[in-house]
Chain A
Amino acid sequence: MLVSPARLRKAGIVGMNHRNVKLIAPNNPRRLYPLVDDKLRTKELVSRAGLATPRLLGVVRSQGNVRELGEFLAGLGTGFVIKPAKGSGGRGILVVAGLREENFVKPSGELLSLAQVQHHASSTVSGLFSLGGRIDVAMIEEMVHFSNVFDGFSYQGVPDVRVIVYKGYPVMAMTRLSTRASDGKANLHQGAVGLGIDLATGQALAAVQHGRRLSHHPDTGRLLTELAVPRWPEFVRLASSCFEISGLGYLGVDIVLDRHKGPQILELNARPGLAIQVANGHGLMARLALVDGQVPGSLDAAGRAAFAMARFAASPQVSPA
């Protein structure tokens, strides 16, 4: 079923062409892309600015490093994640929850030998998971102890929260819940559930799967509107701070919640998609216009976060006639 462009315009929906020409092209200078496309550089950037992010434990830069891996990992004493710095689509991420004698234990309880972990790191370095097969590096970072507030809201894995930040102002947020249909992947057009999050409160809004509204998770049966993200103001502030460190005017910030340490920045995205509008049941245009009306540089990150929480509340949902 098609709707008229006039109705979309009236509802303030941003389309792909508008995003590319009006949001990305003028606000995201090309030279800044490597900062966010290389997760290692992002990590350095984020931690140098003192923002919360899973701690970087080490980097495997060469096949030589792979041989030293056993000694290094044995001395860690914590859970860790090995992932490619230039990976795409969540490929090549290996999570190890802890050590049991000589072996590594995955969160599922599966055991891995050191050789298997080394092989994974070696494949990563040789570019198996990176875009275009370029030589990559493998990052080893602290495992996130996911908070259990998301339990039952996702079929597999733990969802992160995506915040769109426009010129430093968080304008919209959502979380993507994987389903059996999406094969455990958090990709909306493969059938993951998009769940809008109210910027003011962290409370879940209407959920959408395959373009249709739904109230319960299709696999776990949980009532989705029950989700309330705790420590929400910290999420908004973290997202807002990413503007200064990245310089990108149209930015997607992915944040996870650690049980002990609170919200942690996972990665940044210079080309965030528009599905967030569908998940929120709301267009972006009016919020972008409001931000455009602000004097640039007049507020710091905390100020912008406060502005966003005050002005971009979802509550009086106006459904267009």
Chain B
Amino acid sequence: MSNKTLQVRLIVLTLFVVGLGAVLYKIFVLGFPLLPEKRQTVWAVEGHVSLQAQGGPLSVSLNMPDDSEYLQVMEISSTGDRGLRFAVDKEGPGRRATWQGEVEKGPVDIFLQGRVVRRDKGGGPGRQQRQEEPQLALEEAQQAAATALAKQVADRAGSWAKTQEMLRLFNSPNQPEAQLLLRQAGKLGGKMRLISAVLTQAGVKVARVKGLRLEKNSRNKKLQSFLEIEDDGRWLLVNPRTGKIEPGQDLLLWQEGSESVLEVVGGKESRLRLATLASQMMAGKSALAAARKAHHPLVDFSIYSLPLADQNTFKLLLLIPLGALVVVILRNLVGISTSGTFMPILIALVFLQTKIVTGMALFLVVVSVGLVLRSYLSHLNLLLVPRISAVLVFVIIIYVAISVVSNKLGFAAGLQVTFFPMIIISWTIERMCVLWEEEGGRDVLIQGSGSLLAASLIYLVMSNHYVSQLVYVFPELLLVVLAIIIMIGSYTGYRLSELRRFEPLVRP
């Protein structure tokens, strides 16, 4: 028995030393910051080109994102398969990334990664030149429509007002001239090309750009089109879909004018998908550290080496052990009973998506309505599997009802009910109902509130930026979490609740 105790201690010690050692090494030797000095946003941006190679020489060329007044692109790198040669053809705007090589027939996946940081106040120089739009060859009827449209905005003062009016015309379904042109937009190089040509005719200096809106965490994104117009010597970025001026701080310019985004020779079904991931806390310093030491085994064999889209998944996965730790602490050190061991973690994950108040309200509604319906099933004396299946059907019906009713009433929050894992919710309802019958409503309240308390605490831990950043930058901390869990597993002392429970025994 003492042999086992020794083993536990050795394992705990080893995990602590290895985990903390790696963290300290990364801080002091590799220069990772423990706590970021400044909240700077760094976006990791990834372009994923997938295509079917036809066999033989393959050449892929991808337009690269450009620096803007607000944003700076750095650390462009590529991970491609099949040994393609990666190169960046020139510097400055309009630069392209190219991959070339001989490949066998089959799917090819190429990743272009980069980091985007916000420029310091004052911004960068911005782009000086805009590409001139070549003339659009229009047929007679189309030309007439374009002229009519240009005339309609002619009386507006200034380029911005003209543009606003023009976009209104193009976005209105009842504008005959605009609709005539739009029907043929496909042949004329697209809607944006058309709008810019008509705007040019109206005397507005205009350029087209495509960009990616930098979001906290997004996958499978496409580039969006924007117009730039010159107004009083300044270039304004306009969103043609809303007709509003874009601030541009979060827009990563990717392509200008008629440049092609992606060119592939020797392959087909090519597709470009984009992903972004913002790290609030990881200041440029840690990103730089990661990049500088990219070939250090501790970094090279870490989450950083994974494709960006998968890094997003791991960011969440890395937090789950912390949730488990909270459950262990609550159950074995505090003595709170929860319904289902890991149910609180799953509920906390839902809270992360719905925000805690909405999540809590939805959970209470679903479970209490479920309990009422389930208690009716008790009278029918059903067997277990049909019974729990019936509860599952109830749960789905409740989801639908909540979504539809809340949508009708105008609360969009109700739709988030679908984030709750329905199997887990069904089991929770079933278990609570059995508990109610066997032990009474008091126990249901105790366990239910215990579960919600646990879920809320886990949510607080998981949603904390410092915590999530810490485990993301130092995944080695999981070993420390494991050590603590094992340690608690062999803890034989009292639980907090027992200090109350056994109090009568020592009462004088």
Contact = CB atoms under 8 A, between A and B. Distances in A.
A315 interface: no
A190 to B, nearest CB: 6
A213 B504 contact: yes
Interface stretch (B109-117, B134-142, B220-228, B381-389): B381-389
Interface string B476-508: 000000000000011111111011111111101
A17 B383 contact: no
Contact of B494 (A10, A15, A278, A281): A15
Nearest to B382: A128
Given A17-B493, A89-B438, A91-B438, A8 B502 contact: yes
Nearest to B498: A15
B81 interface: no
Nearest to A183: B440
A8 B506 CA distance: 7
B494 A17 contact: yes
Contact of A278 (B381, B385, B505): B505
Contacts of B494: 5, 8-9, 13, 15, 17
Contacts of B163: none
Contacts of B442: 190
B23 to A, nearest CB: 29
A13 B492 CA distance: 12
A29 interface: no
Interface centre among B1, B384, B496, B508 (most CB of A within 10 A): B384
A16 B495 contact: yes
A132 interface: yes
A16 B337 CA distance: 13
A89 B438 CA distance: 7
A203 interface: no
Nearest to B386: A133
Consensus secondary structure, chain B interface: helix
A278 B493 contact: no
Please indicate which of the listed interface residues A3, A10, A123 has the most CB atoms of chain B within 10 Å of its own CB. A3
A88 B505 contact: no
A208 interface: yes
B498 A16 contact: yes
B248 interface: no
In which size bucket is the chain A interface? 35 or more
B321 interface: no
Interface in A1-54: 1-5, 7-11, 13, 15-18, 21-22, 26
Contacts of A17: 332, 491-495
B75 interface: no
B41 to A, nearest CB: 45
Contacts of B332: 17
A283 interface: yes
Interface in B290-315: none
A15 B492 CA distance: 8
Q: Which 6 A-B pairs have the closest CB atoms?
A: A133-B384, A15-B494, A18-B492, A2-B499, A89-B438, A13-B502
Interface of B: 1, 332, 335, 381, 383-385, 387, 438-440, 442, 489-496, 498-506, 508
Given A15-B494, A123-B381, A190-B440, 14 more contacts: A2-B496, A7-B506, A9-B494, A13-B502, A13-B505, A15-B492, A15-B493, A17-B492, A26-B1, A127-B383, A133-B385, A190-B442, A212-B504, A278-B504
25 contacts: A1-B500, A1-B503, A3-B500, A5-B499, A9-B494, A15-B493, A15-B495, A16-B495, A17-B493, A17-B494, A22-B492, A88-B438, A89-B439, A127-B384, A128-B383, A133-B387, A187-B439, A190-B440, A212-B504, A278-B501, A278-B502, A278-B504, A319-B508, A320-B506, A321-B508
